[in-house]
């Protein structure tokens, strides 16, 4: 129960902070090291100003958007985020239902607490699967096959985490998963550290950090993208790119596109804000692939700025978890609907009727 008003996405964070255990709130909210990249993310969108058009008859509007063959009601996906059962018992199934209810897409984290199959069965909206490459390529390939069989229509390869960023809040809290929170996409051997039957509270050990050390492969390189390309027919989006040259390499190694992201400030601290990285990536690709962006998107104006700078859609991260924590599926839906309504208003006030009319000249 919260007495915080819930009229914008910022409010939901305050409300979630009231209801979540400290360990969970900190894991969701936090970033790496001094959290400089985290703090800069939304501010960087605010730094961009809009040169809006007037007298354009915006009485009829649509946010309908095509991304990789999917039609979305508006240009937003829920970002892949681990361990959503820590926010609400219904976990990722509730999130996917919320996304579907607003006509957004859903990207499921490898580290979900619900199986790929359960999330697919619970919804019929666009569902993509986020993948990491494990030391064990057999485990990696098996996950790809499961995502394919379950009916996911794209893979999102996260490449900004060859090692886990140093998240000091998680170390201080001894981040761990309670025994009743499963990580069902992973085999038993992969989940052993996370399922921590042992109590690491107060130990300055993050179970997530231990898990990464043991199972993630820091040797991953562009050749592994080519390998992934060779074992699946699904389109692959490379998530975590902030440079034009890397984006070009991604396309050359078989990706369908990139997601401009710095992992919500949770990996390399002081990483360039994505609002500043996006134009360089879009310019380098010149339409040769899909470009999405995430990080600090909290207002409808942030979304239309992303479109004006060359993204086809954006990913929304933490605010969805705040909605989930406050009120499960309806809470997550409320967060998405608030942003959707803000986008519609921003579109109109910028003098646009559709995302296609959001052109580069809108950025001052």
Residues forming the annotated binding site for FMN? 80-82, 109, 130, 239, 261, 294-298, 317-318
C-alpha 9/C-alpha 244 separation (Å) is: 31
Select from 6, 76, 79, 154 the one that contacts ligand FNR (CB under 6 A).
79
CB-neighbour burial class of residue 182 (10 A; exposed 0-12, middle 13-18, buried 19+)? middle
b/e burial code for range 183-212 (CB count within 10 A of at least 16 → b): bebbeeebbbbbbbeeebeeeebbbbbbbb
Q: Is 195 in the site for ligand FNR (CB under 6 A)?
A: no
Please identify, among the stretches 75-83, 98-106, 218-226, 345-353, the one whose residues bind ligand FNR according to the rule CB under 6 A: 75-83
Q: Is 318 in the site for ligand FNR (CB under 6 A)?
A: yes
> Considering beta carbons, is residue 68 or 155 the nearer one to ligand FNR?
155
Three-state secondary-structure class, residue 204: coil
What's the helix, strand, coil split of the chain in %, to 5? 45, 10, 40
Residue 300: closest CA among 258, 338, 330: 338
Q: Give min distance, CB of 265 to ligand FNR, in A.
A: 7
Q: Give min distance, CB of 84 to ligand FNR, in A.
A: 8
Q: Is 111 in the site for ligand FNR (CB under 6 A)?
A: yes
Please identify, among the stretches 59-67, 134-142, 225-233, 259-267, the one whose residues bind ligand FNR according to the rule CB under 6 A: 259-267
Q: What is the DSSP string of 95-117?
A: HHHHHHHHT-EEEE-TT-SS-HH
C-alpha 231/C-alpha 233 separation (Å) is: 7
Q: Give min distance, CB of 58 to ligand FNR, in A.
A: 27
Three-state secondary-structure class, residue 247: helix
- Strand ranges, E, within 295-363: 313-316
Is 215 among the residues known to form the active site?
no
Known binding residues for glyoxylate = 27, 132, 167, 263, 266
Tokens of 10: 């910022």
Taken in order 310, 38, 221, 78, the sign of the CA dihedral is: negative
Q: Is 75 in the site for ligand FNR (CB under 6 A)?
A: no
Select from 235, 264, 323, 328 the one that contacts ligand FNR (CB under 6 A).
264
Please identify, among the stretches 10-18, 260-268, 302-310, 329-337, the one whose residues bind ligand FNR according to the rule CB under 6 A: 260-268
Residue 290 pairs in a beta bridge with: 257
- Please give the DSSP secondary-structure letter assigned to residue 272: P
b/e burial code for range 261-289 (CB count within 10 A of at least 16 → b): bbbbbbbbbebbbbbbbbbbbbebbeeeb
Select from 15, 16, 76, 81 the one that contacts ligand FNR (CB under 6 A).
81
Q: Which of residues 327-346 bind ligand FNR (CB under 6 A)?
A: none
> Considering beta carbons, is residue 172 or 348 the nearer one to ligand FNR?
172
Select from 99, 186, 228, 316 the one that contacts ligand FNR (CB under 6 A).
316
> Considering beta carbons, is residue 274 or 352 the nearer one to ligand FNR?
274
Q: Give min distance, CB of 294 to ligand FNR, in A.
A: 4
Please identify, among the stretches 80-88, 94-102, 342-350, 354-362, the one whose residues bind ligand FNR according to the rule CB under 6 A: 80-88
Q: What is the 3-state secondary structure (H, E, C) of 122-161?
A: HCCCCEEEEECCECCHHHHHHHHHHHHHHCCCCEEEECCC
> Considering beta carbons, is residue 99 or 111 the nearer one to ligand FNR?
111
C-alpha 174/C-alpha 1 separation (Å) is: 26
Q: Is 317 in the site for ligand FNR (CB under 6 A)?
A: yes
Select from 92, 170, 294, 342 the one that contacts ligand FNR (CB under 6 A).
294
What is the set of active-site residues? 263
Residue ranges binding ligand FNR (CB under 6 A): 27-28, 41, 79-82, 109, 111, 130, 158, 239, 261, 263-264, 266, 294-297, 316-318
């Amino acid at each position: 129960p919260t007495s915080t008003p819930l009229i914008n996405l910022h409010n939901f964070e305050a409300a979630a902070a009231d209801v979540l255990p400290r360990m969970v709130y900190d894991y969701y909210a936090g970033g790496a090291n001094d959290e400089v990249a985290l703090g800069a993310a939304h501010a960087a969108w605010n730094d961009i100003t809009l040169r809006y058009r007037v007298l354009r008859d915006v009485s009829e509007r649509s946010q309908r958007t095509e991304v990789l063959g999917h039609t979305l009601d508006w240009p937003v996906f829920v970002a892949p985020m681990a361990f959503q059962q820590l926010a609400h018992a219904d976990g990722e199934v509730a999130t996917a239902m919320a996304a579907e209810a607003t006509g957004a897409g859903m990207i499921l984290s490898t580290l979900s607490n619900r199986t790929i199959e359960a999330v697919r069965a619970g919804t019929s909206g666009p569902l993509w699967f986020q993948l990491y490459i494990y030391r064990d390529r057999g485990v990696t390939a098996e996950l790809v096959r499961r995502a394919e069989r379950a009916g996911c229509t794209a893979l999102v390869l996260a490449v900004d985490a060859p090692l886990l960023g140093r998240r000091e809040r998680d170390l201080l809290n001894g981040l761990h998963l309670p025994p009743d929170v499963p990580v069902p996409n992973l085999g038993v051997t992969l989940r052993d550290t996370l399922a921590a039957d042992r109590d690491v509270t107060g130990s300055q050990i993050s179970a997530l950090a231990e898990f990464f050390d043991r199972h993630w492969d820091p040797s991953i390189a562009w050749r592994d993208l080519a390998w992934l390309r060779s074992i699946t027919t699904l389109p692959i989006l490379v998530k975590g790119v902030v440079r034009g040259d890397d984006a070009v390499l991604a396309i050359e190694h078989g990706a369908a596109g990139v997601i401009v992201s710095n992992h919500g400030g949770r990996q390399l601290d002081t990483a360039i804000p994505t609002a500043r990285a996006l134009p360089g990536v879009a310019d380098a690709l010149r339409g040769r692939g899909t470009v999405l962006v995430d990080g600090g998107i909290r207002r409808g104006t942030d979304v239309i700025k992303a479109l004006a700078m060359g993204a086809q859609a954006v990913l929304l991260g933490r605010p969805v978890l705040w909605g989930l924590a406050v009120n499960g599926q309806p809470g997550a839906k409320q967060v998405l609907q608030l942003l959707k309504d803000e986008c519609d208003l921003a579109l109109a006030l910028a003098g646009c009727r559709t995302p296609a009319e959001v052109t580069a000249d809108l950025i001052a």
